[in-house]
Chain A
Amino acid sequence: MIDVRHLRKQYGDLVAVDDATFEVRGGEIFGLLGPNGAGKSTTIGCLSGLLRPTAGRVQILGHDIVTDGTAAKAHLGVVPQELAVYEELSARENLRYWGGAYGLGGSELARRVDEVLELVGLNDRASEPVKRYSGGMKRRLNFACGIVHRPRVLLLDEPTVGVDPQSRVRLLDLVRSEARAGNAVLYTTHYMEEAQQLCDRIAIIDHGRIMAMGTLEELRRLMGERDLLRLSGHFDSERARAALAGLEGAEVVSADASTLILAMPGAWRRLPAVFAALAAAEADVRETVLTQPSLESLFIKLTGRELRE
């Protein structure tokens, strides 16, 4: 349903999305996982027709978003990261507007508005101005506005940012139900747990590039059985690298004057050897964090930094 080939978006010298290729099938939740500024929202912008790609191709149900934008957009439901609702109107008026803008009308629109209000749990306050709603209620309405016209493809840009736990659970259930209905869902997030719980497939994106892509299991396999060891202190990075090269199976993921990240199997058992090697390189270790294989450790291995940095 979503077919992205070699997508590139460039602003002057800044490459926001670099050669992204992926597809999302009907009934699938595809996660784009990356830190802030990784290029997730720009990718959504290109997919929704807001931004014109510098290069590459985006197709929604076979319609090119640039050359056949109207047909492509008709199948799209977009839930932007920031709220996009009229606060002076009621939830019902908001839904009527967005439904009408996508071509629904008459009794069909009225029926669908009632249905969606019920779905997101806002029917009892549907006639109140949105400005009186809580943050969680606004988020649910934001989601409802994206699905009111029954889109086949849903683009969700971090829809749970700033949402209370109760509303988050409800929103994630709604996303799952959209996928169960056979719709394709592209879901961006920087919450590791959310991606793990929700997504059928995940692409890890950083600096505009897709670093890895697959199911959760496939991604874990990429990491192997290696633990991730993060050491903080004072290092001569070249001497530290040289000292650690002698340890079997150890890979220096990143090294600078204050942080050293190592991937190695059975790291918890081999800590004395690591410390001895670093002592020989005159390193001053102040803190050690050992992480077992996970999506997060894969992200760190791939990008050299943590997801929340």
Chain B
Amino acid sequence: MSWRLFTASLAKDLRRRLADPLALVFWFGIPLLVAGLLGLVSGGGQGPRGRLLLADADEGLVGFVIAGAVRQPPLATFFALERVSEAEGRAELAAGRASALVIVPAGATDAILNERPVTLSLVTNPSQRILPAIVQEGLEMLVEAVFYLQRLGGDTLALVRERRGTRGLLEDERVARISVDLNQRLRRLEPVLFPPVLTLAAEPAAGEGEPAAASGALDIGRLLLPGVLFMALLFVAQGTSDDIWEEQRQGTLRRAVSAPGSVLAFLAAKLASGAAIAAGASLVALVAGVALFGVPPLRAVAAWPWSVFGGVVLLCLFQVPQLVATTRQGAGLLSNLIVFPLMMVGGSFFPFEMMPAWMARIGRWTPNGQAVARLKDLLAGSADPGELAVAVMAMGAAAVLALAISARLVRRRFEVTW
């Protein structure tokens, strides 16, 4: 490769990019634009919703409280609640069509009112990570609340229990007694040492899907940010790879191929200038992640080089369809045919957590899916160095191969278009 041609071409391509500042603003603004649009599509800035199934064999207070909690914010933001039988719920989970199943056993309400231990079961979708964790965390808070209620007002609850089975309202005297009783108990509030009578047992569902790695903080930014970032980089890759047609239209590609340096140097410079745009777009997205979604800054810093690397790989890959096509329109159509399915299955339109297990499994093996998955790990602070190294090698090899094919296609181009 001719270093001189590379540096001259890189400087030239950067100047050409800078000559069109509006396009640069557009490239850098894509992540924000896409995030905004996704927010609107999913309900005014809220994230995508999962299905939460409730199998309530008790049909009493516990199921009522759980349903009430899920139908209130913040859980209502993430879930649509459906009541099902336990068998139906397990079948839905096994097919990957729901995020979690909460099982309330028969007699749960009586057990709580009579201070007997009872266990709620939470069955989660193993191919999803964020949404089941949100359910688990929400239910654990609920269980704790019930426990403290038990400790604080066990006798008071007994007053309520005494009325069960009779119709009508509590007498005024009993209501007054309950109020006074609660007031005195609150005054005597002390650390509670007794074990809870209500516990939550969580288990992943048997069936399809790989177990998800442990997740860190749960927020909508972490759920959407990696996909949105790589959606932006896919657009950058698609848009900047079209520049080879602009070079051909202006006649400069032919002149460049007549120059003594190698075509590889010319293309590599084009990729390097595209990488600068990818770096800018990634930076904007990650800064937005830090500022808006609470992504830890150090994790964002670690994620930046990976994002740029992923962007460069996509640039290399998208150069090939541009050069395979014989017309600019054909190239545009071909790259659209590639970019949209990649976005759909590669975790950009929908997080893997929201996909059927089979689709998520395929999606994680697409180039952008792999990049999204590893970026998610980096942002969650759970990146496995081995996994990251394998991804770097596989994606790097694909990029080098694509670049070599592109150089060959450029050289052959004039054999048919002269």
Which of A's residues lie within 8 Å of B, judged by CB? 11, 41-42, 45, 48-52, 69-71, 73-74, 76, 78, 80, 82-89, 93, 97-98, 100-103, 105, 129, 145
Pair A80/B254 contact, Cβ less than 8 Å: yes
Q: Which residue of B lies closest to A52 (CB)?
A: B415
- Which one, A42, A50, A88, contacts B19 given CB within 8 A? A88
Q: Which chain B positions have C-beta within 8 A of A49? A: 257-258
B406-418: contact bitstring with A at CB < 8 Å (1 yes, 0 no)? 0000000011101
Interface 0/1 of B1-20, CB less than 8 Å to A:
00011011101100110011
What CA separation (Å) do A101 and B257 show in the bound complex? 11
Interface of A is mostly: mixed
The chain A residue with its CB closest to the CB of B418 is: A45
Q: B5's closest neighbor in chain A, by CB? A: A101
Closest to B253 in A: A84
Q: How close is B409's CB to chain A, nearest CB, in angstroms?
A: 14
Q: Is B65 an interface residue (CB 8 A)?
A: no
Contacts A83-B250, A84-B251, A84-B252; is A89 near B258 (CB within 8 Å)? no
User: In residues 241-256 of chain B, which contact A (Cβ within 8 Å)?
Assistant: 250-252, 254-256
Indicate if the CB atoms of A80 and B15 lie closer than 8 Å.
Answer: no
Residue numbers in B under 8 Å from A80 (CB-CB): 251, 254-255
Give min CB distance, A23 to chain B, whole Å. 21
CB neighbours (8 Å) of A45 from chain B are: 414, 418
CA distance A97 to B261 in the complex (A): 13
Of B250, B258, B260, the residue contacting A50 (CB under 8 A) is: B258
Quote the shortest CB–CB distance from B12 to chain A (angstroms): 4
Per a CB cutoff under 8 Å, which of A52, A85, A103 touches B252? A85
The verdict on A50 contacting B252 (CB below 8 Å), with A88-B19, A89-B16 known, is: no
Known interface pairs A74-B260, A100-B8; A42-B250 also in contact (CB < 8 Å)? no
Nearest-neighbor residue (CB-CB) of A97 within chain B: B12
Residue in chain B with minimal CB distance to A73 = B260
A-B pairs, top 6 by smallest CB distance, nearest first, are A100-B8, A84-B251, A73-B260, A84-B255, A97-B12, A88-B19
**Looking across the interface, which residue of chain A has its beta carbon closest to that of B259?**
A101
Contact with A along B251-288 (1 / 0, CB 8 A): 11011111111000000000000000000000000000
In the complex, number of A-B residue pairs with CB atoms less than 8 Å apart: 82
A93: nearest residue on chain B (CB-CB)? Answer: B15
Q: Which B residue's beta carbon lies closest to that of A142?
A: B251
Residues of A near B12 (CB, < 8 A) are: 86, 89, 93, 97
Bound complex: CA of A101 vs CA of B5, how far in Å? 5
Pick from A82, A93, A100, A103: contact of B251, CB under 8 Å: A82
Contact B258 A102 (CB under 8 A): no
- Separation of A102 and B259 alpha carbons in the complex (Å): 7
B268 to chain A: closest CB distance in Å? 14
Per the bound structure, the CA–CA distance linking A52 and B414 in Å amounts to 10
Interface contact B19-A83, CB-CB below 8 Å: no
Interface residues on B, range: 20 to 34
What would 29 A/B residue contacts be, using CB atoms closer than 8 Å? A41-B418, A45-B414, A49-B257, A49-B258, A51-B415, A51-B418, A52-B415, A73-B258, A74-B260, A76-B258, A78-B255, A78-B258, A84-B255, A85-B250, A86-B12, A86-B250, A86-B252, A88-B20, A89-B15, A89-B16, A100-B4, A101-B5, A101-B8, A101-B256, A101-B261, A102-B260, A103-B4, A103-B260, A145-B255
Task: Determine the residue in chain A with the shortest Cβ distance to B416.
Answer: A11
Residues of B within 8 A of A98 (CB): 255, 259
What residues of B have a CB within 8 angstroms of the CB of A88 in the complex? 16, 19-20
Among A41, A73, A88, find the residue whose CB has the most chain B CB atoms closer than 10 A. A88
Q: In the complex, which of the residues A42, A74, A145 contacts B418, with contact meaning CB atoms closer than 8 Å? A: A42
Q: Bound state CA distance, A73 and B15, in angstroms?
A: 26
Which residues on A sit within 8 Å (CB–CB) of B4?
Answer: 100-101, 103, 105
Question: Please, which residues of chain A bring their CB within 8 A of the CB of B418?
Answer: 41-42, 45, 50-51
- Measured in the bound complex, the distance between the Cα atoms of B12 and A271 in whole Å is 65
Cα distance A69–B261 when bound, in Å? 10
Please give, as numbers and ranges, the residues of chain B lying within 8 Å of A145 by CB-CB distance.
Answer: 255
Q: How far is the CA of A42 from the CA of B416 in the complex (A)?
A: 11
Give chain A nearest CB distance to B413 CB in angstroms: 10
Q: What 14 new A-B contacts, CB under 8 Å, besides A50-B254, A101-B9?
A: A41-B418, A50-B414, A50-B418, A71-B260, A78-B258, A86-B250, A87-B250, A97-B12, A98-B259, A100-B11, A101-B8, A101-B259, A103-B260, A145-B255
- Docked pose: A46 CA to B257 CA in angstroms: 12
Contact A97 B8 (CB under 8 A): yes
When distances are taken between beta carbons in the complex, the residues of chain A under 8 Å from B256 are: 101
A70 to B5, CA, bound (A): 12
Q: How far is the CA of A241 from the CA of B416 in the complex (A)?
A: 42
A289 → B minimal CB distance (Å): 35
Q: Are B254 and A84 in contact (CB under 8 A)?
A: yes
In the complex, A298→B117 CA distance in Å?
Answer: 112
**In the complex, what's the smallest C-beta–C-beta distance from A195 to chain B, in angstroms?**
23
Chain A residues whose C-beta falls within 8 Å of the C-beta of B260 in the assembled complex: 69-71, 73-74, 102-103
Minimum distance in angstroms from B111 CB to a CB of chain A: 75
CA–CA, A97 to B11, complex, Å? Answer: 8
